[in-house]
Amino acid sequence: MRRPNPGILTMLPVLVFLLAGFVIPILVVALYSLMPPRTFDLAGSPTFTNYATAFADGYWRPLMWSALGAAATTLICLVLAWPTARALDRFAGRWATLVTLLIALPIFISESVRLFGLALFMMPGGGILAGSIDALFGVSIGTILYTRLAALLGLVYIHFPFVLFPLLLGVSLVPKDQVAAARDLGASGWQVFREIEAPLAAPGAAVGALLCFVLSLGANAEMNILGGQAVTVITNAIEQRFNYAQDWPLGAALTVLTVLLTAAVVFPVLRRIDVDSLARR
Amino acid sequence: MNGRAKPLFDSLQAAWLLLVLVLLYIPMISVALASLSNTRYMLFPHRTWTTDAYADALAGYTTGALHLTSLRIALLVVVISVVLASFGALAFARFDWRGRRAFQRFLVLPLFFPQPVLGLALLVYFTALGITPSWQTAAFAHLVWIVPVVTLVISIRLYNYDVLQEDAAFDLGATRLQVLREVTLPALAPGIVSGALFAFLLSWSNLPLSVFTSGADTTLPEWLYSRTATNYSPMVPAIAVIATAVSAMVVIAAALGLSLARGRDGAGTTS
């Protein structure tokens, strides 16, 4: 080599930034989680009291609700995204490009606008849906707004594109002639799915599912706008500790537990996926 | 080929896509419909359909202030993320070096991280450092998430880039700076423009990071979020529509600018 390796030089700015903005903040929070309860500096002697309190005071509950919500969201999104990805792939090149674009656009519209719109739609009495049905048919309907179901609906709504697009990438890799050949040889639809489509689309599905799970794990706007505080999710629990209870170490301990749960899900999947080849497509 | 069941299956698939689209756009349509009223209570269908709320929103001081805060953050995010990510993308996709795989994996980690939790962690971090949260800290928080996105966007463009062009330029006696300016940057340009667009839109619409890290400053999504629960008036959906329209205009302007630049470039190379 006639020049020093430029790879290391060019990655330095991003590396330094992510160390300062991502790694160190998480380490600082981890340090706080070891401080004595209700202290605000990092000078105390390390203790695991906050973790003990987190479990004793039932804080596993919001974490469990968040994890359950995230798992349900991921599952529902996968089930909805699969036929959508198949259909988009089927019509690829025709108006599917426009449809794909139209599905992607809402990602860039603020979550607060979209969740607000869902709430307006579901509102009882004079809501968009209830009001229209009342005006058209004279029937007044109830609402699921401010229930867990509404929050789950919001979670699915917001995270659907994050599952769809990686999955679409996976589905587009399934060779059409291979499916046709299997069909000609008498394979059933289920067999084609299990033996050919699912394994080939798996990396895309894994990335989508992972994104969806992690993003919905921390989600709280859905609960606050649509769920009407029917459940306390982990982000709300952490926020309450930090802001209202002024107990930073306990809030930090809850944050660390959430980060550990995230890492336990992300690392095994991410290790098996080749980021390089996925980005290359 | 399995031809028999196809027409029916095709129309089923098309119907499914249509249903997905309708469902996806229900919230936006709902917001737009709600904005066309003049009552403080949501009572659809409206007795009177009016655009008064838009007049109020445009006349009000808040609308401008909110847009200004969001705009400041988004512009700062665009500039910094594009600079950092352009270098990052070269390391990600262009150069071969030991540790590239590890770097690629590290870079995507912030994307696989719950944003509100990141926002809360950053709030603690800023406070521990003695920094009072404001729109600048919100921009910093946005960057943690947006720099990896923009790096990926630019990298995807770079994979199609022919490295030999650079070697040829070096062989012809070009300096490092000349190669960067004449060969590498023009090749990166389309990626940089799409990256900047992503950065702007993602920052403009971000709620979970802003909510915890913007301190006393309020961005558009934050304000809408707080107003969905209390103090409802048709001005809230009206401002939501205006804010969304502003981001749409930015996209259209960027697309127009890009196609103009491309047209000029094309003319330049042929002559």
Which of B2, B11, B44 is most worth mutating to test chain A (most A CB atoms within 10 A of its CB)?
B44
**Distance between CA atoms of residues A166 and A156, nearest Å:** 16
Kindly report the CA angle at B12 between B9 and B17, in degrees rounded to 5?
130
Chain B residues closer than 8 Å to A253 by CB: none
**Distance between CA atoms of residues A36 and B6, nearest Å:** 67
pLDDT of residue B94: 80
B207–A132 CB contact, under 8 Å: no
- Cβ–Cβ < 8 Å for B143, B81: yes
Using left for φ > 0, alpha for ψ between -120 and 50, and beta otherwise, residue B217 falls in beta
Partner residue opposite A11 with nearest CB, options B91, B156, B207: B91
Sequence ranges of the domains in chain A:
58-280
| pLDDT value at B266 more than 60 | no
| pLDDT value at B269 more than 50 | no
DSSP per position, B123-145: HHHHHHTTPPP-HHHHHHHHHHH
**Distance between CA atoms of residues B209 and B205, nearest Å:** 10
DSSP state at residue A126? T
Average pLDDT over residues A42-52: 88
Average pLDDT over residues A18-40: 92
Return the CATH number of the domain spanning residue range A58-280. 1.10.3720.10
A113–B244 CB contact, under 8 Å: yes
How many C-beta neighbours within 10 Å does residue B15 have? 11
Domains of chain B (ranges; CATH) run 63-266 (1.10.3720.10)
A109–B1 CB contact, under 8 Å: no
pLDDT of residue A19: 96
pLDDT of residue B244: 92
At residue A278 the predicted structure's pLDDT band, cuts being 50, 70 and 90, is: low
- From residue B117, alpha-carbon distances to A94, A163, A235, B16, B188 in Å are 41, 21, 6, 35, 33
pLDDT of residue B270: 37
For B256, the token pair is 């127009």
| pLDDT value at A276 more than 70 | no
What residues have CB less than 8 Å from B87, skipping those under 6 apart? A10, A11, A12, A13, A14
Average pLDDT over residues A186-193: 85
B107–A128 CB contact, under 8 Å: no
Closest CA to B196 of B111, B112, B80, B92: B80
DSSP state at residue A105? G
Average pLDDT over residues A58-68: 92
pLDDT of residue A141: 86
pLDDT of residue B268: 42
Average pLDDT over residues B166-192: 84
Q: What is the ipTM of this complex?
A: 0.89
Average pLDDT over residues A39-65: 88
Counting Cα atoms < 13 Å in the Cβ hemisphere of A269 gives 20
- The predicted-structure confidence for B74-123, as pLDDT tens digits, reads as follows 999 999 999 999 999 988 888 888 888 889 889 999 999 999 999 999 99
Question: Which of A78-82, A178-182, B114-118 is predicted with the least confidence, judged by mean pLDDT?
Answer: A178-182
B124–A242 CB contact, under 8 Å: yes
At residue B261 the predicted structure's pLDDT band, cuts being 50, 70 and 90, is: confident
**Distance between CA atoms of residues A7 and A12, nearest Å:** 9
User: Hey, what's the torsion of the CAs at B198, B203, B205, B208, to 10 degrees?
Assistant: 130
For A123, the token pair is 């509102």
**Type and span of the H or E element at A47:** none
pLDDT of residue B2: 45
Kindly report the CA angle at B131 between B129 and B137, in degrees rounded to 5?
115
A117–B13 CB contact, under 8 Å: no
Task: Check whether the bond before B45 is cis (ω within 30° of 0).
Answer: yes
Q: How does the average pLDDT of chain B come out, rounded? A: 87
| pLDDT value at A274 more than 80 | no
Distance from CA of B130 to the nearest CA of A (A): 11
Which of B117, B122, B126, B246 is most worth mutating to test chain A (most A CB atoms within 10 A of its CB)?
B117
pLDDT of residue B74: 96
How many C-beta neighbours within 10 Å does residue B1 have? 10
For B210, the token pair is 């802003």
Average pLDDT over residues A234-242: 92
| pLDDT value at A70 more than 50 | yes
- Please name the amino acid found at residue A182: A
Question: Which of A236-240, B18-22, B60-64, B202-206 is predicted with the least confidence, judged by mean pLDDT?
Answer: B60-64
Burial class (CB within 10 angstroms; exposed 0-12, middle 13-18, buried 19+) of B231: exposed
pLDDT of residue B264: 65
* CA-based radius of gyration for chain A: 23
Which of B29, B104, B124 is most worth mutating to test chain A (most A CB atoms within 10 A of its CB)?
B124
DSSP state at residue A36? P
Distance from CA of B76 to the nearest CA of A (A): 15
Name which residue leads in pLDDT, A101 or B141: B141
For residue B199, give the chain A residue with the closest CA: A108
Distance from CA of B271 to the nearest CA of A (A): 33
| pLDDT value at A150 more than 50 | yes
Average pLDDT over residues B128-133: 93
pLDDT of residue B187: 80
- The predicted-structure confidence for B13-41, as pLDDT tens digits, reads as follows 999 999 999 999 999 999 999 999 888 87
Please measure the distance between the N-terminal and C-terminal CA atoms of chain A and give it in whole angstroms: 30
Chain B residues closer than 8 Å to A113 by CB: 27-28, 31, 205, 221, 224, 240, 243-244
